[in-house]
């Protein structure tokens, strides 16, 4: 009897163990898979960097007023106490460039013949200018004319011929060659030469000199006027350049006959006067 009880107890125990084992296995099989841990993404760190702001230094305002010494004051201009002087400054200058008109005039029975002959002569004049060193950019055709010639004493009315002319306006940069150039174009057939004049290639420096002289000459005049009024000049109010120019005595070159190239033509350019005029207003006490 006892052995049967023992074996029954053991069988029950074995069944309990097997049931527990099967339960554990079932739980392990049905358990959800654990999530794979993601790699941590580093979060960027924003660092505030202080900005460097440049320091702006105030710029002093520009002024056209003269600086007044410490302790002195400049009186405000009185519109009733103003002396205005007009002064002219002049500088004598030797010219370095010459200008002239040179050409030829031909008469022929017909206009066509006159133009043909004048054209041939003008070409010879042009070549003579080039041969003397005159550059092409300083030779300009300034006139071409053809017109009928009428004889008031002729019985038959109408033109009894035609005249044709060609004229060049020439700039002579080497003024010392002017005489030689005139000889050459005359020998080439030029019978019309006029308007010889002179100039200055760059008169900037001479104008400045004339301007300085004009200003220097103005102050003594203003002082003289102020003294005669029993007062004195206190300040310069305005300065204005009125005009500027240069001029020379009129000159011309005419042909009294054929010029001999061996003797040459003497050209005397003389001097030009560079002139600048200013108007200056002064205040007085």
Residue range 153-190, pLDDT digits in tens: 767 777 889 999 999 999 999 988 888 999 999 999 99
For residue 100, the SS3 value is strand
SS3 content of the chain, % helix, strand, coil (to 5): 30, 30, 40
Residue 5 pLDDT greater than 90, yes or no: no
Tokens for 247? Answer: 């001029």
Do the Cβ atoms of 196 and 254 come closer than 8 Å? no
| H/E segment holding residue 7 | helix 2-30
Spatial distance between the Cα atoms of 116 and 120, rounded to a whole number of angstroms = 6
Mean pLDDT score, 73-98: 85
Instruction: State how far the Cα of 128 lies from the Cα of 49, in Å rounded to an integer.
Output: 82
Tokens 């074995």 correspond to: 14
Per domain, the residue ranges of the chain are 82-94+203-255+263-284, 97-199
The β-bridge relationship of strands 82-93 and 162-172 is unpaired
pTM value?
0.59
CATH superfamily of 82-94+203-255+263-284: Protein of unknown function (DUF541), domain 1 (3.30.110.170)
CATH node for 97-199: 3.30.70.2970
CB atoms within 10 A of CB 9: 10
The mean predicted confidence, pLDDT, of the chain is 78
């Amino acid at each position: 009897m006892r052995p049967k009880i023992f074996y029954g107890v053991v069988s029950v125990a074995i069944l309990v163990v097997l049931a527990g084992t099967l339960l554990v296995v079932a739980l392990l099989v049905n358990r959800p898979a654990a999530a794979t841990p993601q790699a941590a993404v580093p979060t960027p760190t924003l660092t505030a960097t202080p900005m460097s702001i440049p320091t702006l230094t105030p710029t002093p305002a520009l002024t056209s007023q003269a600086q007044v010494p410490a302790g002195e004051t400049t009186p405000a201009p009185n519109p009733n106490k103003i002396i205005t002087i007009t002064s002219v400054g002049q500088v004598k200058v030797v010219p370095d460039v010459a200008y002239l008109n040179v050409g030829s005039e031909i008469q022929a029975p017909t206009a066509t013949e006159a133009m043909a002959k004048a054209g041939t002569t003008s070409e010879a004049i042009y070549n003579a200018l080039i041969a003397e060193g005159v550059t092409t950019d300083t030779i300009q055709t300034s006139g071409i004319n053809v017109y009928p010639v009428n004889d008031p004493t002729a019985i038959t009315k109408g033109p009894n011929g035609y005249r044709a002319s060609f004229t060049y306006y020439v700039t002579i940069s080497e003024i010392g060659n002017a005489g030689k150039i005139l000889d050459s174009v005359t020998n080439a057939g030029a019978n019309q030469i006029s308007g010889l004049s002179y100039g200055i290639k760059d008169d900037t420096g001479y104008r400045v000199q004339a301007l300085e002289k004009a200003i220097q000459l103005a102050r003594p005049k203003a002082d003289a006027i102020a003294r005669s009024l029993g007062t004195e000049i206190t300040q310069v109010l305005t300065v204005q350049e009125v005009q500027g120019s240069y001029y020379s005595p009129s000159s011309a070159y005419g042909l009294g006959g054929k010029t001999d190239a061996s003797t040459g033509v003497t050209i005397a350019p003389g001097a030009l006067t560079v002139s600048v005029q200013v108007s200056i207003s002064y205040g007085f006490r």
